[in-house]
């Protein structure tokens, strides 16, 4: 077997994973509160305790896909139930799967008066699920909710403690870590939404670069394959 094909094949697999992640990031440019992902790779050699097999140990594995939680740009909407967060904090929603962190910011008042997310899951306040009476809603920078100038509740805002982590679980929800910590530093902006933290220009340039590198790897694999075929044919003729 031509082991020279392993390095370009390993490179092609890595680049393919990177393209998938970049494509997903770019596809969510307009998704409110979306945080882009950054793949981290390991190799088969790093995952096994057995002897190295030349070439095979180069093959990459997707070791982790941590999200980049950097701040997205705040966009003015003027909608009274839109809340844009500035800082590291998360809103907290009660879902059928338990508590989930939420960074989307697009909120609604359902027919029962409950403050809910875009999926209809109740948003949590200091007193539990938030219920809003009829009237004008004013949300302060600390998350205090007032209706008709009367305090109703305050948005629950959590941040991730050091040494803890969280992960995306779909619908703009994130898992809640084992330890939770109240966040008093994040600023709540009523009538605004946090945009995706994907940088269209930089990420498109990166995608083009990765695509070209992937094409070069494919050409290298094809060349190696053709050389192997020629060597086999020459061996048959000489035999």
* Number of domains composing the chain: 2
Q: Are residues 147 and 99 in the same domain?
A: yes
Is residue 60 domain-shared with residue 88, that is, in the same domain? Answer: no
What tokens appear for 21 in the block?
Answer: 């992640």
Shared domain check, 139 and 109: yes
Structure tokens at 46: 């790093």
Q: What is the pLDDT of residue 220?
A: 72
Reply yes or no on whether the pLDDT at 235 is more than 70.
Answer: no
86 and 144, same domain (yes or no): yes
Confidence at residue 48, expressed as pLDDT on a 0 to 100 scale = 45
Q: Are residues 182 and 208 in the same domain?
A: no
Mark whether 181 and 213 lie in a shared domain: no
Shared-domain flag, residues 63 and 84: no
User: Does 119 score more than 50 pLDDT?
Assistant: yes
What is the pTM for the complete model shown?
Answer: 0.78
Average pLDDT over residues 37-56: 58
Residue for token digits 């083009």?
208
What pLDDT, on a 0 to 100 scale, did the predictor assign at position 162?
Answer: 85
In a shared domain, residues 95 and 139: yes
pLDDT score for 47: 46
How far is CA 11 from each of CA 15, 200, 204, rounded to the nearest angstrom? Answer: 6, 25, 20
Helix 200-238 crosses helix 6-27 at what angle (to 10 degrees)? 150
Domain coverage including residue 20: 3-69+197-238
102 and 132 together in one domain: yes
List of residues 6+ apart from 31 with CB closer than 8 A: 172, 196
Which tens digits make up the pLDDT trace of 135-173? 999 999 999 999 999 999 999 999 998 888 889 998 999
Which two three-digit tokens encode residue 211?
């695509």
Q: What is the pLDDT of residues 165-218, one digit of tens each?
A: 889 998 999 999 988 999 999 999 999 999 999 998 898 998 898 888 878 877
CA distance 59 to 52: 12
With a cut of 70, say whether residue 25 has pLDDT above it.
Answer: yes
Residues 93, 119, single domain; the answer is yes
Are 95 and 180 part of one and the same domain?
Answer: yes
Q: Is the domain of 103 the same as that of 181? A: yes
Q: Quick one: pLDDT at residue 165?
A: 84
């Amino acid at each position: 077997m031509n082991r020279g094909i392993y390095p370009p094949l390993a490179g092609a697999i890595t680049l393919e994973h990177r393209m998938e992640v970049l494509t997903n990031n770019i596809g969510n440019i307009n998704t409110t509160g979306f945080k882009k992902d950054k793949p981290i790779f390991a190799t088969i050699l790093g995952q096994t305790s057995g002897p190295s097999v030349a070439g095979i140990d180069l093959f990459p594995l997707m070791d982790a896909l941590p999200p980049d939680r950097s701040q997205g740009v705040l966009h003015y909407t003027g909608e009274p139930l839109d809340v844009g967060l500035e800082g590291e904090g998360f809103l907290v929603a009660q879902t059928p799967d338990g508590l989930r962190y939420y960074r989307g910011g697009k909120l609604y008042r359902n027919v029962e008066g409950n403050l809910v997310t875009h999926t209809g899951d109740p948003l949590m306040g200091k007193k539990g699920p938030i219920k809003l009476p009829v009237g004008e809603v004013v949300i302060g920078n600390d998350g205090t909710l007032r209706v008709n100038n009367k305090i109703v509740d305050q948005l629950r805002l959590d941040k991730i403690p050091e040494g803890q982590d969280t992960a995306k679980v779909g619908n703009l929800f994130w898992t809640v870590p084992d330890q939770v910590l109240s966040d008093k530093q994040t600023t709540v902006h009523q009538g605004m939404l946090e945009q995706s933290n994907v940088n269209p220009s930089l990420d498109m340039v990166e995608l083009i670069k990765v695509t070209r590198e992937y094409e070069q790897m494919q050409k290298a694999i094809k060349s190696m394959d053709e050389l192997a075929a020629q060597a086999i044919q020459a061996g048959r003729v000489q035999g």
